[in-house]
Amino acid sequence: MTRPKRNLRMDLEYDGSDFAGWAKQPGLQTIEGTLEQVLGRILQEQVGLTVAGRTDAGVHARGQVVSFLTGSGMEPGRLRWSVNGLLPDTIAVSSITEAPLDFDARRSAGSRSYSYTLLCRPWPSAYRHRFVNFIRSQLDTALLHSAAAAIAGRHDFRAFTPTVTEHSYFQREIMVSRWHEDVDLLVYTIEASSFLRGMVRALVGTMLEVGRGRRPLRDLRELLAGGERSQAGESAPPGGLCLEQVLYQSSSKSKRER
The H or E element containing residue 69 is strand 60-70
- pLDDT for the residue 2: 63
Residues that are catalytic: 56
Say what the pLDDT of residue 256 is.
Answer: 36
Separation between Cα atoms, residue 115 and residue 53, nearest integer Å: 14
List CB contacts of 81: < 8 A, sequence separation 6 or more. Answer: none
Per DSSP, what are the bridge partners of residue 66?
10, 51
DSSP 80-129: HHHHHHHS-TTEEEEEEEEE-TT--TTTTEEEEEEEEEEEESSS--TTTT
The predicted structure's pLDDT at residue 137: 85
Tell me the C-alpha distance between 8 and 60, whole Å: 22
Please report the pLDDT score of residue 93 as a whole number.
98
**Distance separating alpha carbons of residues 90 and 39, to the nearest angstrom:** 16
- In one-letter notation, the amino acid at residue 209 is E
Q: What is the pLDDT of residues 207-224, one digit of tens each?
A: 999 999 999 999 999 999
- pLDDT at residue 239, rounded to an integer: 97
Pairing of strands 185-192, 171-182: antiparallel
Cross-strand pairs, 189: 115, 178
Q: How far apart are CA 133 and CA 83, in angstroms?
A: 31
Q: How far apart are CA 190 and CA 108, in angstroms?
A: 19
Kind and range of the H or E element at 143? helix 141-151
The residue ranges of the chain whose pLDDT is under 70 are: 1-2, 167, 250-258
Q: What is the pLDDT of residue 4?
A: 73
pLDDT of residue 253: 41
